[in-house]
Amino acid sequence: MDPMPHDSDALAQRLHFARRLAAEMGAVTLEYFRRDELNVDRKTDGSIVTEADRAAEAHARAMLAEHAPDDGLLGEEHGELVTDSPWRWVVDPIDGTVSFARGVPSYGVLVGIEYEHDPVGGVIHLPAWNETVWGGRELGAWHQRDREAPRPARVSDTPALDDAMVCTTTWDYFRDGGCTGLHDRLVRACTTRGWSDCSAHLLLATGRIDAVVDPLLARWDISASIAVIEAAGGRVTDLAGQRDPGCRGAILSNGPLHEPLLALATP
């Protein structure tokens, strides 16, 4: 991986603000979480969106317009703001909207920081768990739970698939991504669980699981996680082994398990 072509202080400053941004977006989502009445709509792609998704992203856009008005911005719900800056923020206000809408606390907020469209920093914040992991290139990765002091975040060192815990979100994504064979091979090769969406990415970055296979993604689902997991010592590629932040399917791993997982994806 090439070194960053910019001053790392600029990234550190943005990453510091990204933590605040994620926390405030998370606070907005908690105002709606487990409401008896929650407005839920269906988008043209068939996925659902709630009033909380829109409110949290609107809050993020207002904060970024004040704090980083020259930077670009890509958000799931309100589209892209293109600028001349090499910096871009990639925001998913609620990753795991299906969980959120059903009152399940495993949803999260994702804030990615890109330089020339390369993920270099990110925050994964789970508001209902009160748990956050963040990291940046050359800055390391850090984990904070409740009001505990931050501690370094590091992926596991599990070396073999038969000892590994690998997460997937849902079999439906393998079906829709045209790779049900990968799912069949995966469940036979290791222990799998459905701790889904970015909650699994946080668990990977903090060493509690060993890999995640996500066969159906959008840019806002993966940008922050790429930066965080790489900063924590892990590896992220598409299903063919290429580092592609715009990929539609990805393997996220602790590193030692990556090649065996790629072998399952491309038998």
DSSP state of 99: H
- Could you list the mean pLDDT of each consecutive 10-residue stretch along the chain, which spans 267 residues? 63 97 98 92 85 96 97 92 96 94 96 97 98 97 96 98 95 91 95 92 98 94 97 98 94 98 91
Residue carrying structure tokens 């949803």: 107
Domain boundaries, the chain: 8-152, 161-265
Q: Domain 161-265, what architecture?
A: 3-Layer(aba) Sandwich (3.40)
Identify the pLDDT of residue 45: 77
Taking only the tens place, the pLDDT of each residue in 154-194 is 999 999 999 999 999 889 989 998 999 999 999 999 999 99
What percent of the chain shows pLDDT beyond 70?
97
Interior/surface letters 80-102, b for 16+ CB within 10 angstroms, e for the rest: ebeeeeebbbbbbbbbbbbbbbe
Nearest to 245 by CA among 228, 222, 212: 222
DSSP state of 85: S
Identify the pLDDT of residue 36: 87
DSSP 117-144: TEEEEEEEEETTTTEEEEEETTTEEEEE
How many Cβ atoms from other residues are within 10 Å of residue 248's Cβ?
A: 15
Helix (H) or strand (E) holding 225: helix 219-231
CA 72/CA 59 separation, integer angstroms:
16
One-letter amino acid at 164 equals: A
Identify the pLDDT of residue 1: 43
pTM of the model: 0.95
DSSP state of 244: -
Identify the pLDDT of residue 175: 93
CATH number of the structural domain 8-152: 3.30.540.10
CA 46/CA 260 separation, integer angstroms:
33
